[in-house]
Amino acid sequence: MASFSQSVVEGLSCPICTDIFTEPVSLSCQHTFCKLCLLKSVQAGHSCCPECRGPLQDTDFQINRLVKNIVDQLRMDPPGATWNTVPEVRTRTTKKIPGGNMCHEHGETLKLFCVNDNNLICLVCKEGREHKAHQMEPVKEACEDRKIKEELKEELTEELTEELTEELTEELKEELKEELTEELKEELTEELKEELKEELKEELKEELKEELKEELKEELKEELKEELTEELTEELTEELTEELTEELKEELKEELTEELTEELTEELTEELKEELKEELTEELKEELKEELKEELKEELKEELKEELKEELTAKE
């Protein structure tokens, strides 16, 4: 058992400081070191595993909880404590008592083995409150049973060591899987965020396109309205100019006619006056017709203007 305990201690010792692990951390190459020792190695400029010289992939070292729990248990129950003559049975104290196997409390010989506490006790201890309800065995029988168990333990030590190594490897694999799973989750979350951003960009582009189309439609409508208004204004201006020209011509004719009429009236005789009167009567009739036509034109103009205004208002 001493060799087994020694191998366990060696297996739980840091290769750098050769002491039992303190805050053990495991690298991706499965080698384990004290966190402080590894940090000192990195600070000294070493960027590889001190054991296999493999490259360090990450300097954010995480505590290996499984190895830490084993080390803590080993510290609480060190293999170097004093053992009694019965194999695998520890006495109530780690100090050697002069005079052989004697109870350090009562000074009596340790004749009984307490199965519950895994301790040797005396007859006085048996009657005490602490061991009264416990199962007892004579020391001789306990020794025989323990010897058989010791032989079986020695045979199974190597097998158990291999099994424990495999279990530790599996547990370490599981821990690594969990860590990798978290990292993958974070990476996938970032990827999904990027994809959603792209999708939202496309949707916003489509919405903006529709809005811009509507705005452009409205702007084109306004421009077309302005162009049509200008065209209609020009047409109306031309028409009114022509009409005004005609009116001015008529006015000039009337003025000239009046002047000529006055001159002729003075020069001509009464007979001619009569003739002129008749002629003037006819002319006046014609003029009156023309005036009536102009008045009708004005009325029609006003009506057309009102209709055009209504049409333009309806189009706007």
Q: For the chain, what is the domain count?
A: 2
Distance CA 84, CA 103 (A): 12
Instruction: Report if residue 104 sits inside a domain.
Output: no
Q: What is the pLDDT of residue 24?
A: 93
Average pLDDT rounded to a whole number, residues 33-45: 89
User: What pTM did the predictor assign?
Assistant: 0.28
Instruction: Report if residue 167 sits inside a domain.
Output: no
CA 51 vs CA 9, 63, 182, 259: distances in Å: 18, 18, 28, 134
pLDDT tops 90 at residue 267: no
Last residue of a domain, one of 80, 108, 123: 80
Helix (H) or strand (E) holding 288: helix 270-315
Distance CA 103, CA 301 (A): 138
User: Residue 18: which domain range?
Assistant: 1-80
Crossing angle (nearest 10°) for helices 2-11 and 139-267? 20
Helix (H) or strand (E) holding 188: helix 139-267
Helix (H) or strand (E) holding 199: helix 139-267
Instruction: Report if residue 184 sits inside a domain.
Output: no
Instruction: Report if residue 193 sits inside a domain.
Output: no
Q: Beta-carbon neighbour count of residue 106 at 10 Å?
A: 14
Confidence bin at 96 (pLDDT 50/70/90): very low
Last residue of a domain, one of 80, 103, 131: 80
CATH number of residue 48's parent domain: 3.30.40.10
Instruction: Report if residue 116 sits inside a domain.
Output: no
Instruction: Report if residue 157 sits inside a domain.
Output: no
Q: What's the chain's average pLDDT?
A: 77
Instruction: Report if residue 137 sits inside a domain.
Output: no
Q: What is the pLDDT of residue 150?
A: 62
Last residue of a domain, one of 80, 113, 144: 80
Condensed to tens digits (0 to 9), the pLDDT of residues 207-249 reads 888 888 888 888 888 888 888 888 888 888 888 878 887 888 8
Lookup: tokens for 99? 């005079």
Instruction: Report if residue 191 sits inside a domain.
Output: no
